[in-house]
Chains A and B, each alone.
Chain A
């Protein structure tokens, strides 16, 4: 079955860039997503990328997709303490359900 892997923890200093990485196994993925979960809350979509794109930029967020290596990354520029959260990578196969990674906890220190 599909599998989505991501590192469990990342710690950065405020003002630095954060890069969260994700690998997936399903070559037929149509969309890939980054969701953010703040403490005590549900998940909220941060950004997504269609599988025929290589890059997507949205303000401080940059998503890079390497389809050959099945690697997805999320770069957060000028990371702020408010960016501290759990970040989930997810993929959609066809137009079916999403498969989520286990989440990366990002801790931003002042």
Chain B
């Protein structure tokens, strides 16, 4: 089974702190994604990556950056956390070989910024 693992289920950080959210997938997927999920707003795409060292902005990239140094790992970085970044963050991956484009999701990282 595909497994997408997010390193932290719950984090509490202070305003201005640098935050790293890590995501690892074990199925050699080329594509990886970071979404945030907020009540009433659904899932919004922050960044995605089609290959190692490649990144593309999603719909809401402001205040975030990403890193993809290895194929299996995709990190989301909040350079200076703010309270409006309190949210559930979901990582996902998919294979270019799968014609359906199915995304496999991690269990999420709930970030609270105080």
Binding site for B on A (CB under 8 A): 8, 30-31, 33, 35, 40-45, 48, 88, 92, 95, 97-98, 100-103
Contact = CB atoms under 8 A, between A and B. Distances in A.
Contacts of B42: 88, 100-103
A45 B105 CA distance: 9
A48 B102 contact: yes
A103 B42 CA distance: 6
B4 A42 contact: yes
Interface residues of B, number: 21
Contacts, number: 47
Question: Considering the complex of A and B, which 7 residue pairs feature the smallest CB-CB distances, nearest first?
Answer: A42-B105, A102-B42, A100-B43, A43-B105, A42-B107, A92-B101, A45-B102
A42 B104 CA distance: 9
A30 B102 CA distance: 12
A102 B35 CA distance: 13
11 contacts: A30-B101, A35-B103, A41-B107, A42-B105, A42-B106, A43-B90, A45-B103, A88-B42, A95-B101, A97-B48, A100-B42
Contacts of B61: none
Given A48-B102, A88-B42, 8 more contacts: A31-B101, A33-B102, A42-B105, A44-B105, A92-B101, A97-B58, A98-B101, A102-B42
